[in-house]
Amino acid sequence: MGCYRLVAARAATILLIVSVALLGFGCTSGRTTSQHEREPSETVIVAHRGGSLLAPENTLASFQNGIDEGADAIELDVHLSKDGQLIVMHDPSLYRTTGKEGYISDYTADEIKALDARSSYSGQLAWDEQRVPTLDEVMQLLSRQIRPVDVQIEIKVDQWGNRYEGIEQAVIAVLHRYGYIERAMIISFDFPTLLEVKELEPNLRLGALVSRAYLQSIGLKGPRVVAQSIADLDVEYVAINYAYLSPTLYSEFRSRGLGIGTWTVNNEKDIRRIAAMGVDFITSDRPDLLRQLLH
Ligand code: G3P
Ligand code: CA
């Protein structure tokens, strides 16, 4: 009898140690490790601004072209116009892509839509005049596709670096209207924006954009600190400028359960190197080249 008690006590102790160890392991990042390394052929192809080396960026033509060239997802940037419409454009200033002086926030959507969005395009193909689209118009285009295409929506800040009031809510409303919550990822360099989106719509996937500016802002710390700072945001993905994605940083992100994407990868050597690491998605101005090299 005494022997049985001793065995039972030892078994209970071992069980407790194993449970605590498992709990501790599970709690290191505070999240599940659902993201996994991908074979290059599984890498999601994201057309950056629709694929801005192939067509005028952030236009309906570029998005359709990116999809036709085999993108699994399109990436676009949004701002708010003076009358509160979601305008798809990269810069807060109208000048680079339309030639018009002034900022998006100074004009109504109708005034902006009257502009031709080809100014920044220097690629080889000739394109007709292109309007600046609203997010609603891009969603209409996505809804018409014969295969499902995901969307990465980058929420930008204004010309002063401030958040547009209500932009997160406006984006979420459009995604709901088109039944696109599950096909969308919200990305931003502005992390308070991501936290606001999470608060308003927890079902949306979020991606924290990491640039050199961010790495400098946290004091050029080592991979472990960088990875933990992103994991602490409780986002599903990190999307980092590919120049800073070392194998060590990659492992630190993965060990915290983060999905990993990189931008903007446009040449063959870099595409092959980054894809071989096992990232979830690659964002490129050449979705055609990604398709050719990876699939
Ligand atoms: O997808 C991320 C990438 O778009 C971030 O850079 O400057 O092109 O918006 P940027
Ligand atoms: Ca962007």
| pLDDT tens digits along 4-57 | 444 344 443 333 333 323 322 222 233 333 457 899 999 999 999 999 999 999
282 and 295 Cβ atoms separated by less than 8 Å: no
Domain ranges in the chain? 2-294
Whether residue 255 has pLDDT greater than 80:
yes
Is the CB of residue 69 below 6 angstroms from any atom belonging to ligand 1? Answer: no
For domain 2-294, say whether CATH 3.20.20.190 is its number: yes
Nearest bound ligand to the CA of residue 239: 1
| pLDDT tens digits along 109-147 | 999 999 999 998 988 878 999 999 999 999 999 999 999
Report the sign of the C-alpha dihedral through residues 255, 203, 171, 89, in that order: positive
Within 5-83, strands assigned E span 44-48, 73-80
Residue type, 252: E
Structure tokens given for 117: 């969005």
Band of the pLDDT at 232, cuts 50, 70, 90?
A: very high
109 and 85 Cβ atoms separated by less than 8 Å: yes
| Protein residue whose Cα sits closest to atom 7 of ligand 1 | 90
pLDDT confidence of residue 273: 96
Separation CA 144–CA 259 (nearest Å): 29
Question: 259 to each of 44, 84, 165, 183, how far by Cα in Å?
Answer: 12, 32, 29, 15
| Protein residue whose Cα sits closest to atom 4 of ligand 1 | 48
| pLDDT tens digits along 64-102 | 999 999 999 999 999 999 999 999 999 999 999 999 999
Separation CA 237–CA 24 (nearest Å): 23
Residues 247-274, mean pLDDT to the nearest whole number: 97
Q: Which residues lie closer than 8 Å to 100 by C-beta, 6 or more apart?
A: 94, 115
Is the CB of residue 154 below 6 angstroms from any atom belonging to ligand 1? Answer: yes
Pick from 44, 211, 262, 263 the residue to mutate for probing ligand 1's pocket: most ligand atoms within 8 Å of its CB: 263
90 is catalytic: yes
**263 C-alpha vs ligand 2 centroid, how far in Å?**
9
55 and 125 Cβ atoms separated by less than 8 Å: yes
Q: Among candidates 174, 213, 231, which has minimal Cα distance to 197?
A: 174
Residue positions counted in the chain: 295
Pick from 150, 264, 280, 284 the residue to mutate for probing ligand 1's pocket: most ligand atoms within 8 Å of its CB: 264
Band of the pLDDT at 2, cuts 50, 70, 90?
A: very low
Is the CB of residue 285 below 6 angstroms from any atom belonging to ligand 1? Answer: no
pLDDT confidence of residue 125: 79
Q: Which atom of ligand 1 is nearest to the CA of 90?
A: 9
The CB density around residue 163, as the number of other CB atoms within 10 Å, is 17
Torsion of CA 135, 140, 146, 149, to 10 degrees: 20
3-state class of 271 per DSSP? helix
Is the CB of residue 75 below 6 angstroms from any atom belonging to ligand 1? Answer: yes
Enumerate residues with CB within 5 Å of ligand 2 (an ion).
77, 154
Is the CB of residue 242 below 6 angstroms from any atom belonging to ligand 1? Answer: no
Separation CA 213–CA 69 (nearest Å): 32
Separation CA 143–CA 141 (nearest Å): 5
Pick from 77, 155, 286 the residue to mutate for probing ligand 1's pocket: most ligand atoms within 8 Å of its CB: 77
Question: Is pTM beyond 0.85 here?
Answer: yes
From 36, 79, 90, 176, active-site residue: 90
| pLDDT tens digits along 234-251 | 999 999 999 999 999 999
pLDDT confidence of residue 35: 58
| pLDDT tens digits along 190-219 | 999 999 999 999 999 999 999 999 999 999
**218 C-alpha vs ligand 2 centroid, how far in Å?**
22
48 is catalytic: yes
